[in-house]
Amino acid sequence: MLYLVRMDVKLPATLAPAEADAIKAREKAYSQGLQREGRWRHLWRVVGEYANYSVFDVESNDELHTLLSQLPLFPYMQIQVTPLAQHPSAIASAITAN
Ligand SMILES: O=C(O)CC1=CCC(=O)O1
């Protein structure tokens, strides 16, 4: 199942820069692991914002929730999830649904 996910990151001003850098490093390692597994298919920066659009390919809502809630930046994110279905007019896609 494919999901479009928007993540808006809001780090508190009170968070020490070294702690913020450590969380971002853990986030990068975690996300790159999921990308290598093929479960995090796309990761795009939103121009001009500390936000991203991502496409996940997972088995269920529960799997996506578990995966998202384990993001190191999860406590500092607003997350919006949109489940995706096949469009009947699509002739090709950069991503292939199962
Ligand atoms: O910077 C972001 O948009 C948050 C994020 C998600 C994966 C990652 O490495 O950073």
In contact, 48 and 92? CB cutoff 8 Å? no
**3-state secondary structure (DSSP) of residue 42:** strand
- pLDDT tens digits along 39-53: 999 999 999 999 999
pTM value surpassing 0.90: yes
Top mutation candidate among 10, 11, 27 for ligand 1, by most atoms within 8 Å of CB: 27
Other C-beta atoms closer than 10 Å to the C-beta of 77 total: 19
How far apart are the CA of 38 and the centre of ligand 1, in A? 16
Number of domains within the chain: 1
- What is the model's pLDDT at position 96? 56
Which CATH number goes with the domain that contains 64? 3.30.70.1060
- Which residues span the domain enclosing 40? 2-97
Q: What angle do CA 98, 94, 72 make, to 5 degrees?
A: 75
How far apart are the CA of 28 and the centre of ligand 1, in A? 7
- pLDDT tens digits along 48-97: 999 999 999 999 999 999 999 999 999 999 999 999 999 999 987 655 55
ipTM of the complex: 0.98
Residues 6+ apart with CB under 8 A from 15: 76
Specify the DSSP class assigned to residue 23. H
